Chain A
Amino acid sequence: MLLRRRTGWPAWGLTGPFEDLERLRNQVERLSGGLSQGFGEPAAGVFPLMNVTEDTDTFFVRAELPGLKGDDLNISVTGDTLSISGERKFTVENEKARYHRREREAGTFSRIVSLPGEIDAGKVEARCADGLLTIILPKAEKAKPKQITVKAS
């Protein structure tokens, strides 16, 4: 695709109705892009929903898993892929209990996510506290950003 001048000098060459249209299209794209960068729909609708964050050396994956303990989870890492599976079980309550509401759900789950970079699989840590799972995944050496100093000649 040719590089095109977006705005500017109508006196120069290729101007016309299409350039205006192009400009409009760019603006709409920018607008909708800005929207989807915010909180979007859960990508796959796969349980559990995850929040992934990163700093320079580490990825952090968090998920809300109320009632689950570390032992109930299977977590494995290969390359840049993280997989979590497990089962949310409820203990059998009183058989004679009459239910008024039943909104919580039990069941099995399995999810695989690709992270944006390679992980040092040997140093991955996972914690589960207050129903929140936090997985700390240190980035592999080659995935870390390198600071480049500009030498004075």
Chain B
Amino acid sequence: MTKTESKALQAKEKPEVSTPAEQTRPGLVFTPAVDIFETDKEITLLADMPGVKAQDLNIDLHENQLTLNGEVQPLEADSELDVIREYRTGKYYRQFTLSQVIDQAGIKAELKDGVLRLTLPLVQAAQPRKIEVKAA
């Protein structure tokens, strides 16, 4: 993201996903679009999860498996009838395997305007260190 783009956005359908485990509740499951970038100190993950509230989002890190699970509460009242339906709503689910060792205690998650920002700090040992050679 070194420069700001201003191209026109294209409409895209959310990709549907089949989760490894059977769902306990019926409903659609989608893959959120993510950006993942890494600096020397941390890995940052940004995920688009419109409609997910903080209390409905579950983030789980277990043996380098990062799982995002977000529930969406329906907004529509029962009295409303469909006129046009272009997008569908459902859960968001995505799983990643992290290659680096993460400092689990230092993980920070922030959900703002439907975008999750997850900061995963790398453990000290995994951070590249420049070793200075001292002249004897």
Contact = CB atoms under 8 A, between A and B. Distances in A.
The finding on whether chains A and B are genuine partners in a shared complex, rather than unrelated, reads yes
Interface of A: 39-40, 42-56, 59-60, 62, 64-69, 87-110, 115-116, 128, 130-132, 134
B52 interface: yes
Contacts of A98: 37-39
Contacts of B84: 43, 50-52
Contacts of A102: 35
Contacts of A89: 4
Contacts of B115: 66-67, 131
B58 to A, nearest CB: 16
Contacts of B133: none
Contacts of B38: 97-100
B9 A130 contact: no
Given A50-B87, A67-B112, A101-B36, 18 more contacts: A43-B84, A45-B11, A46-B11, A49-B13, A50-B84, A53-B81, A53-B82, A54-B83, A68-B113, A89-B4, A93-B37, A93-B44, A98-B38, A99-B35, A100-B36, A130-B113, A131-B113, A132-B50
Nearest to A94: B39
Give the 10 A-B residue pairs with the shortest CB-CB distance, closest first: A131-B114, A131-B50, A66-B114, A53-B80, A97-B37, A64-B50, A66-B48, A107-B9, A49-B86, A103-B33
Interface string B90-109: 00000000000000000000
Interface SS, A side: loop
Contacts of A64: 50-51, 87, 114
A32 to B, nearest CB: 18
A96 B80 CA distance: 49
Contacts, number: 157
Interface stretch (B18-26, B71-79, B123-131): B71-79
A96 B39 contact: yes
Contacts of B36: 99-101
B1 A93 contact: yes
Contacts of A51: 82, 84-87
Nearest to A88: B9
B134 interface: no
Contact of B37 (A53, A65, A99, A130): A99
B113 to A, nearest CB: 5
A97 B6 contact: no
Interface in B3-18: 4-13
B35 to A, nearest CB: 5
B52 A108 contact: no
B62 interface: no
A99 B43 CA distance: 10
